Homo-oligomer: A and B are copies of this chain.
């Protein structure tokens, strides 16, 4: 054995793109990043206030329950019932250190090596990576020209090794929001095929003129639906690492085993702060969303000026647009040129599984209005200069 030979498990896993683009940004100071999947606001004061509560009891420095502290689980349960319309009978809540951890955990919990999990392309890169890390196979089903689910193609992709179908709505990286009927159809497909419906709802509050639908609100969905949520976006809480999932009760033991072996419990000071964040609740995010919606309108109207250079499919959610650029150019070459020559960073589509064609993800959640305007103008100018002149 050669030490430098990496096992095939890891060879199959793509390198995360964020640090790669991050390094390019560092090399070109002044670059405005439209790459990051974060919001531009901090957590509510009620989250910070909980730190005092945490520090008041020395026992809080010791390990706490694997599935989360009771106060946080209770607050989450209330939220799931009232906002998501989820009946928690035969379900369990598990707090994780972010929603990526929730996804990796359930993939490990429901699979053996060689099993298959269906993702929609473009996919969220960490989902595909988790499936490879679990030595399973990501079966990729393309969405349509508006990045919407194609359930006929999903049905055709199901085999006897399919363990789950994954949907993300509002979607990262496309911003697409799936309709209630589309999600019901997938959920029924999972029930009929005896596989799980994993629904990632990290961006549930980020919709513009449409409604978010939680598949776990469907009657009798408890045994085959796994719902994943995050505080990172809604509460400006990314670095605190708190997400959670709602799982069928019979999966709890497996999920606990993995969590115990992985993180034991999520950082307890972060869990206390999360209780405070949920006290502020959805209205905290809704207030901030007004500014993000304004930025979104600016981005949209700027992109309209280069319709001849790129297609911008409808995106009613999250804080992303996934542009299809009309060029034969290599995507990473374009990303590099945009940073080097125009000081604006976006993410390349291949990282989301789009190998054919030139796609760019534009994220607009992290910027103040003025910076966003400057950033999108640089992108428009950059695309005009680079793509038009070739």
Contact = CB atoms under 8 A, between A and B. Distances in A.
Interface of A: 1-4, 6-10, 13-16, 18-19, 36, 38, 42-43, 48, 51, 55, 58, 60-66, 97-98, 100-101, 104, 108-113, 115, 126, 129-130, 133, 135, 160, 163, 194-196, 223-224, 236-241, 248, 250, 253-254, 256-258, 260-270, 273, 366
A241 B263 contact: yes
A267 B223 CA distance: 32
Nearest to A115: B7
A280 B9 CA distance: 40
A269 B267 CA distance: 9
A98 B3 contact: no
Nearest to A366: B62
A112 B133 contact: no
A78 to B, nearest CB: 24
A237 to B, nearest CB: 7
B62 A258 contact: no
Nearest to A17: B260
27 contacts: A1-B195, A3-B250, A4-B250, A7-B111, A7-B112, A13-B254, A13-B258, A15-B256, A16-B256, A16-B260, A16-B261, A19-B260, A36-B63, A42-B61, A60-B239, A61-B239, A97-B267, A98-B263, A100-B262, A100-B263, A126-B260, A129-B257, A129-B260, A239-B265, A240-B268, A269-B270, A269-B273
Contacts of A111: 7, 9
Contacts of A115: 7
Given A19-B256, A61-B236, A261-B126, A133 B104 contact: no
A44 to B, nearest CB: 11
A237 B268 CA distance: 10
Given A6-B254, A254-B10, A239 B269 contact: yes
A223 B3 contact: yes
Contacts of A66: 16, 19
Contacts of A8: 112
A115 B1 CA distance: 12
B239 A110 contact: no
B38 A62 contact: yes
Given A13-B257, A254-B10, A238 B3 contact: no
A332 B238 CA distance: 43
